[in-house]
């Protein structure tokens, strides 16, 4: 696996977590009353990952093309809707998670460049991951535990 992250309890609050990704460390938490709000909650981190990837992908593409992109901003929101209320969702029953990703492109770009950059934004690696099939394999490690790769 290429990416690796370690998450563990800090015991500083009821649900406060310490996250380590390479040389980077930060906290995750839940707002009160569940947590202490000492860091973003997991859904905001998910949105941040998508937003960062979107912005980086757009920036790198524009730079490679030599396009006059001065600034990229990505605003994201997450919600849930009933499948029957979602006209363009594959699921017909249950609840569907909807992520709205609004991209602002500042700079003297023409309409063709803007359209292409929006298309590129929709193709960032995290967007593709979240839009594709995901398999999560969860296991226990330690004495007497079933290693990852076991049953889901």
Neighbours of 21 (CB within 10 A): 12
Q: What is the pLDDT of residue 89?
A: 66
Q: What is the pLDDT of residue 114?
A: 98
What does the pLDDT look like over 40-58, one tens digit per residue? 999 999 999 999 999 999 9
pTM: 0.86
Candidates 103, 94, 106; CA nearest to 122 is 103
Q: What is the pLDDT of residue 93?
A: 63
Q: How far apart are CA 61 and CA 56, in angstroms?
A: 9
Domains of the chain by residue range: 1-39, 41-131
Between 3.30.200.20, 3.30.300.20, 3.40.190.10, 3.30.830.10, what CATH number should domain 41-131 receive? 3.30.300.20
pLDDT by 10-residue block (mean), the chain, 152 residues: 88 96 96 96 97 98 98 96 68 79 98 98 97 92 70 51
């Amino acid at each position: 696996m290429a990416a690796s992250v370690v998450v563990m309890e800090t015991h500083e609050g009821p649900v406060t977590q310490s996250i380590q990704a390479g040389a980077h460390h930060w906290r995750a938490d839940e707002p009160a009353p569940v947590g202490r709000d000492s860091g973003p909650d997991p859904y905001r981190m998910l949105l941040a990952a998508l937003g960062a990837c979107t912005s980086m992908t757009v920036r790198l593409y524009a730079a490679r093309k030599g396009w006059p992109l001065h600034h990229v901003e990505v605003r994201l929101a997450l919600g849930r809707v009933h499948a029957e209320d979602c006209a363009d969702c594959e699921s017909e029953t249950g609840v569907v998670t909807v992520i709205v990703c609004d991209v602002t492109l500042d700079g003297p770009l023409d309409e063709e460049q803007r359209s292409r950059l929006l298309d590129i934004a929709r193709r960032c690696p995290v967007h593709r991951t979240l839009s594709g099939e995901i398999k999560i394999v969860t296991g226990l490690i330690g004495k007497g535990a079933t290693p990852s790769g076991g049953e889901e």
